Copies of this chain bind each other. A is one copy, B any other.
Amino acid sequence: MLRIGLLGAGRIGQIHARNVAAHSGASLVAIADVMPQAAATLAEATRSTSMPVEALLASTEMDAVMICTSTDTHADLIERIARTGKAIFCEKPVDLSAKRIASTLRKVDQAGVKLMIGFNRRFDPNFASLKQRLAKGAIGDVEIITILSRDSAPPPIDYVKRSGGLYRDMMVHDLDMARFLLEEDPVEIHAMGSSLVDRRIGEAGDVDTAVVQLRTGSGKLCQISNSRRASYGYDQRIEVHGSKGMLRAANIHETTVEHAGPKGFTTDRIENFFLERYARAYRNELDAFIECVRTGRAPSPSGRDGLKAQLLADAAARSSETGKPVRVELSQG
């Protein structure tokens, strides 16, 4: 049984806590949160224990810690936990500054601990299956990837303001997915963004609607589009066009029921929220984390994957601001 401590009892912390508690290969030793009551409530629901953050960091009763706190605390917590030799799972992003991420990763390397980053979408059963088929050559060489990613509704404007912007907060997932599927690092990226959904997002200096295209060294191409709003649900689709065919992964509708009537045939909305859509992804992600800690397997997605996605998001944001394509050299990241 892998003994796991969890930092952060918010929305995503609750997901991970319940998954750890229900996992046959792990035990949830303790939960800490800056708001002790939140930690206590979650500990009760998961038959675990709550303790102060410092106590959890100092505890020797754990093999691994999952970091589910706010972004601005990630890098610091990673560095502190790394020093204690524990394995680390950290929600994305490590930091909004790529420089800080790079410095944190060096410390993790020095400490020799394992660090896995929470790009949950890689573990979605549909996307993971698509990736496996790609790897087996089901469509030959990848040529064009199309990623469509739309939230059902924009986040609160206060969240937007401290999010790092659409490219770092939302598109970073798609940029990681692009790398995951291209199996080759992009060398150039061009972004166009608009504020069409919520005027306040534009006034805050961010965009809510954006398109990006990027190219790898060997000429593979990828297009991504993002919107902060989709009236029909949380829209997450991927299509890969290759030399021998095409693979795509569709959304999941709320039910399989179809209604036919005078106005046509209607199926349900798609699942509305990432917690529903990615419920299985979070469980599979935990499996992967536990397995990498228990075995010699390298964590994947790694801290380096986190850094590269952040560098791409930075480049996309810069391209969107300047109107110019941006060259990226991830190998030096």
Q: Which residues of A approach B to under 8 Å, CB–CB?
A: 22, 125-126, 129-130, 133, 138-139, 141, 143-144, 146, 148, 150, 188, 190, 192, 194-197, 209-215, 219-223, 225, 227, 229-232, 235, 239, 241, 243-270, 323-325
B213 touches A194 (CB 8 A): no
Instruction: Give how many copies assemble into the complex.
Output: 4
Tell me whether chain A's interface is mostly helix, strand or loop, or mixed. Answer: strand
Q: How many whole Å from A257's CB to the nearest CB in chain B?
A: 5
Partner of A143, one of B130, B138, B196, B215: B196
Given A192-B215, A231-B244, A241-B227, A269-B259 contact (CB < 8 Å): no
Q: How many whole Å from A74's CB to the nearest CB in chain B?
A: 31
Given A215-B192, A267-B265, A245-B220 contact (CB < 8 Å): no
Query: Across the two chains, which residue of chain B brings its CB closest to A144?
Result: B225
A126 touches B255 (CB 8 A): yes
Which B residues lie within 8 Å of A192 (CB)? 188, 190, 213-215, 221
Which B residues lie within 8 Å of A212 (CB)? 213
A249 touches B260 (CB 8 A): no
Which B residues lie within 8 Å of A223 (CB)? 146, 211, 213, 223, 225
A262 touches B257 (CB 8 A): no
Partner of A211, one of B144, B229, B268: B144
Which B residues lie within 8 Å of A261 (CB)? 138-139, 231-232, 244-246
From A150, A248, A256, name the one whose CB has the most chain B CB atoms within 10 angstroms.
A256
A252 touches B241 (CB 8 A): no
Q: How many whole Å from A320's CB to the nearest CB in chain B?
A: 11
Which B residues lie within 8 Å of A241 (CB)? 150, 225, 227, 230
Partner of A231, one of B130, B262, B269, B325: B262
Q: How many whole Å from A259's CB to the nearest CB in chain B?
A: 6
A255 touches B245 (CB 8 A): no
Which B residues lie within 8 Å of A144 (CB)? 209, 211, 225, 227
